[in-house]
Amino acid sequence: MLRHSLRFKHVKFLLGYTTIRNQAQCAGKGVVASAVQQNNLPVISFQKPGPHVLDDELRLIPSQEIDNPLVVDSSFEGVTPLFSPSFNLASLVNKSELLQLMVKLGVSIHQWERKTDVHSWVMALDFKKDVQPIIQFLVDQGVASDSLGLFFTKNPYILKSSIEDLEIRINYLHSKKFSSEMISRILSRNPHWLLFSPERIDNRLGFVQQTFHLTGDELRAVATKESRLITSSLQGIKLMNFGFKEEMGFEAHQIKELLLAKPKLWLMNKSMLVDRFDYLHNTMKMDYESVLRFPAVLTCRGFRIKQRHEFLCHLNRAQYDPKLPRYVSPLQIISDSDTYFAVHIARSSIQDFNDFCKTM
């Protein structure tokens, strides 16, 4: 932005200096330093300036080579800067076509300012040359046009990418036998995927495949179901595996089953997950098979499970053995509203449930 406001031609007009500064002239300039040693400071010698050029900043006397400033410069565009310095993009949005088009797409400019440094380069983009091809590319790959706003909000850096890079990345996925539907799902759900080079993606896919001993199809299924697993921390995956194996006591084939059913678990906070499993297994006496059959219990917030389980215990209805009557399945514990749960599963009323929650 500031660059726009200090375009050389404006400076030229204001200071009456018409010839364009080029490399040759810049090289000849230098700061005039005092050759006299003062206060025992070391002498710094610079390149001696040419006879016709003085310090640019303090240019007071026009030299004979400079043209008459009253003559019209054909390439002159105006005295005011295009955009004055600003501390947010909101002040520029009424004048910038690019930002207006972004707002029309549904991009949150506010989020850009809060979370990224996009403001430092976004104004220099040209819509037809830079942005339009990328929008077209994404729509061709299957990203829905009304979710483009969210896409650019989360990942504005893709506007800086070149189309060639993006095409190489998509070609890599095709070469690894990802279908078009898979690719469009990956891109829609994970805007950051395209920022990763093919080498990095390849490394990560390989890591996941080797860690869990997945076949090609299984790997593709996992990458499609939860593509954020591939682009987020690999260290986190290792840590979570430790949690499943050592802290929770799952076996390797069970961990693989969990991954294929609910890869989202690997993106969660490990200690929170271990605490939840601890409650399910040790307090509610839920065995490994039940958890594997209903992995969604691990994604339900701890306090919800606690409230409902304790309420059922209070009513002597906490029966989790499928072979016995009045069986309550784990899915019934975690799903539906409190009202539905209180009435249909606990066979009580929502008022009793709320009163019970206040005794916890």
Partner 1 sequence: MAVSTSVKTIREAWFQLNGVMCLYKPTQISWKQMRNTLAFNISRDMNELEQDAPRKYVKIESLTNGTNVDLPAPASYSVTTIPNLADHELVRGPAILADDLRLQPGNLLGFRTAGVVVVGLNKGNRSLHNLNLSRPTSAYHIKSQFGLATDSHWDDGKVWEKTTFIHISRDKLDRMLASIQASNQKKMFEYCGVDPQSQTAYELASKGLLRPAVNGPPLIYGIKCVHFNPPDFTLEIHCANENEQYMAALIHDLGLSLKTTAVCQQIRCIRYGCFTVDDALLRKHWSLEYLPDHMSHCHTKLRSLPDIGPQLATYDRLQPSQNPPTKS
The nearest distance, CB 108 to partner 1, in angstroms, is: 5
Stretch that binds partner 1, among 2-10, 26-34, 96-104, 165-173 (CB under 8 A): 96-104
Look at the block and give the residue holding tokens 């987020």. 232
Stretch that binds partner 1, among 29-37, 104-112, 122-130, 140-148 (CB under 8 A): 104-112
In the complex with partner 1, the residue whose CB is nearer, 261 or 357, is 357
Residue 89 contacts partner 1 per CB under 8 A: yes
Residue 222 contacts partner 1 per CB under 8 A: no
| Residues in CB range of 150: below 8 A, 6 or more apart | 106, 191
Residue 103 contacts partner 1 per CB under 8 A: yes
Site string for partner 1, 292-311 (x = CB under 8 A): -----------x--------
| Residues in CB range of 227: below 8 A, 6 or more apart | 185, 186, 189, 190, 193
In the complex with partner 1, the residue whose CB is nearer, 18 or 209, is 18
Residue 109 contacts partner 1 per CB under 8 A: yes
In the complex with partner 1, the residue whose CB is nearer, 100 or 197, is 100
Residues in the chain: 360
| Integer angstrom CA distances of residue 125 from 77, 121, 158, 269, 353 | 20, 7, 12, 39, 57
Using CB under 8 A as the binding rule, the residues of this chain from 264 to 283 that contact partner 1 are none
| Residues in CB range of 340: below 8 A, 6 or more apart | none
Stretch that binds partner 1, among 91-99, 130-138, 208-216, 288-296 (CB under 8 A): 91-99
Give yes or no for a contact between 312 and 302, defined as CB atoms under 8 angstroms apart: no
DSSP assignment of 138-153: HHHHT--GGGHHHHHH
The nearest distance, CB 116 to partner 1, in angstroms, is: 14
Give dist(CA 59, CA 72) in Å, integer. 21
Give dist(CA 243, CA 108) in Å, integer. 37
Residue 122 contacts partner 1 per CB under 8 A: no
Stretch that binds partner 1, among 109-117, 264-272, 277-285, 326-334 (CB under 8 A): 109-117
Residue 358 contacts partner 1 per CB under 8 A: yes
Give yes or no for a contact between 193 and 186, defined as CB atoms under 8 angstroms apart: yes
Which positions lie near partner 1, rule CB under 8 A? 70, 72, 78, 89-91, 93-94, 99-100, 103, 106-110, 114, 303, 338, 354, 357-360
